[in-house]
Amino acid sequence: MNKNIAILSGDGIGPEVTAQAVKVIEAVEEVYGHSFEKTEALIGAIAIDATGEPFPIETEEVCKSSDAILFGAIGHPKYDNDPNAKVRPEQGLLKMRKNLGLFANVRPVASFEALLSLSPLKEERIKGVDFVVFRELTGGIYFGQPRGRSEDGKSAFDSCTYTEAEIQRVAHLAFKSAQNRRKKLTLVDKANVLATSRLWRQVVTEMAPQYPDVELDFMFVDNAAMQIIQYPAHFDVVLTENMFGDIITDEASVISGSLGLLASASMGSGLGLYEPIHGSYPQATGKNIANPIGAILSAAMLLEYSFDLIEESNAIKAAVNQAVQEGFLTEDLNKENAKSTTEVGDKIAELIRANRSVLEA
Ligand code: IPM
Ligand code: MN
């Protein structure tokens, strides 16, 4: 298969972890006889430094002429505490999501059997956890207008808005996912307080008869924040709006043992973007210590969702599991005997090659 992949490594540890994901994709190309053309493009703080824009038009063009996008991370501390910064790296990510129509962000959360004892949560609670969060990605308070400051600068405001159509398109994906899983969908909202949440409940309830095999329930987000820690195994598919989804998926990452393990897919009208859910982790930048598994599992999602290469995607996941089992862990999971970012990437690429030669023998 011939395909084009846009590689947007971004800021901080983005380039280091993305390089491992690319290494793993190359192993897959070699072993399974594919050829993927990879084109690098700038996004985030690094793009601001080079062009003044966090998501330059050249980058948008590279994305639009690709079959899928692999993305690293965004953000730089020099912008974080500057209330007057006019351009921010994060605007690049938001603009990319909006301009490419990536309205659904899919974040799977599962515990690794070999890491159960490393999670801060009790083993018996997290054993067998396997759920997926559908986070709406191009609406809500992240994008609503008006937003800004009053003229005297003494008050600020953001608007949370949703339309029926915005809710329906992501909800359809979540219902369909539930049909292919354990057939349970939980809508997380704050319908006891927010008008937008009440619209979510109404729209999703009206859609439910189209998916009679799916059991739909509702949970307020504050309660969900607690249940995700207390009874994580109860969840199957979670559907929620943009900001709630941002928050509860960082929280959920604790279940697997490290934020560095979680991958995500952003989808919409065709083109898919794949990224680890972690940020740019400035303190670790350039130290070769960041966990590359979230990025590598994002590459596995890319092969599955955008290219329909299920066997190849499973080969990556199997190699990741094996590396984890063999204790190839970065310092977020193993302080005593930590492997470096590149060692973990090399190991996973090597396992993909080795597993295939075993199959062929
Ligand atoms: C994420 C990130 C982004 C978000 C930031 C960097 C804008 O936290 O992808 O979860 O809030 O969506
Ligand atoms: Mn986030």
3-state DSSP call for residue 283?
helix
> Quick one: pLDDT at residue 317?
97
Q: Select from 256, 290, 312 the last residue of a domain.
A: 256
Ligand 1 centroid to Cα of residue 246, in Å, is 7
Ligand 2 centroid to Cα of residue 244, in Å, is 10
Distance CA 115, CA 119 (A): 7
Predicted ipTM of the assembly: 0.99
Domain match, 252 and 263 both: no
Domain match, 103 and 125 both: no
User: Helical H runs in the chain?
Assistant: 14-32, 45-51, 57-64, 77-80, 89-99, 123-126, 164-179, 195-207, 221-230, 242-256, 293-305, 310-325, 341-360
- Do residues 3 and 36 make contact, with C-beta atoms less than 8 angstroms apart? yes
What's the pTM value of the predicted model, to 2 decimals? 0.94
**pLDDT tens-digit profile of 295-354?**
999 999 999 999 999 999 999 999 999 999 999 999 999 999 999 999 999 999 999 999
Q: Which of 4, 6, 9 is nearest to 280 (CA)?
A: 9
201 assigned binding-site residue:
no
Ligand 1 site-directed mutation target among 90, 136, 281, most atoms within 8 Å of CB = 90
CATH code, domain with 11: 3.40.718.10
CA 82-72-257 angle, to 5 degrees, is 95
The ligand 1 atom at the shortest distance from the C-alpha of residue 250 is: 10
Task: Answer yes or no: 162 catalytic.
Answer: no
> Quick one: pLDDT at residue 356?
80
Domain match, 148 and 247 both: yes
State which residues form the domain around 238.
120-132+139-256
**pLDDT tens-digit profile of 121-160?**
999 999 999 999 999 999 999 999 999 999 999 999 999 9
Burial degree of 334 (CB within 10 A; 0-12, 13-18, 19+): middle
**Mean pLDDT, rounded, for 250-269:** 93
Domain match, 104 and 124 both: no
> Quick one: pLDDT at residue 119?
87
Domain match, 22 and 102 both: yes
Kindly indicate the confidence band of residue 109, based on its pLDDT and cuts at 50, 70 and 90: very high
222 assigned binding-site residue:
yes
107 assigned binding-site residue:
yes
- Do residues 196 and 140 make contact, with C-beta atoms less than 8 angstroms apart? yes
**Mean pLDDT, rounded, for 274-285:** 96
Domain match, 200 and 301 both: no
- Ligand 1 atom 6, closest CA: 90
Ligand 1 site-directed mutation target among 43, 88, 93, most atoms within 8 Å of CB = 93
Domain match, 163 and 283 both: no
Distance CA 311, CA 79 (A): 42
pLDDT at 74 over 80: yes
> Quick one: pLDDT at residue 80?
87
Q: Select from 197, 221, 256 the last residue of a domain.
A: 256
Pocket of ligand 1 (CB under 6 A): 74-75, 90, 93, 246, 277, 279
Domain match, 298 and 198 both: no
Task: Answer yes or no: 346 catalytic.
Answer: no
Residue with the larger pLDDT of the pair 119 and 130: 130
Distance CA 69, CA 210 (A): 32
Residue 113 within a domain: no
Ligand 1 centroid to Cα of residue 274, in Å, is 13
Distance CA 335, CA 181 (A): 36
Residue 156 within a domain: yes
pLDDT at 215 over 90: yes
Domain match, 156 and 195 both: yes
Strands 237-240 and 184-189: parallel
pLDDT at 96 over 70: yes
Residue 115 within a domain: no
67 assigned binding-site residue:
no
Domain match, 359 and 333 both: yes
Domain match, 124 and 252 both: yes
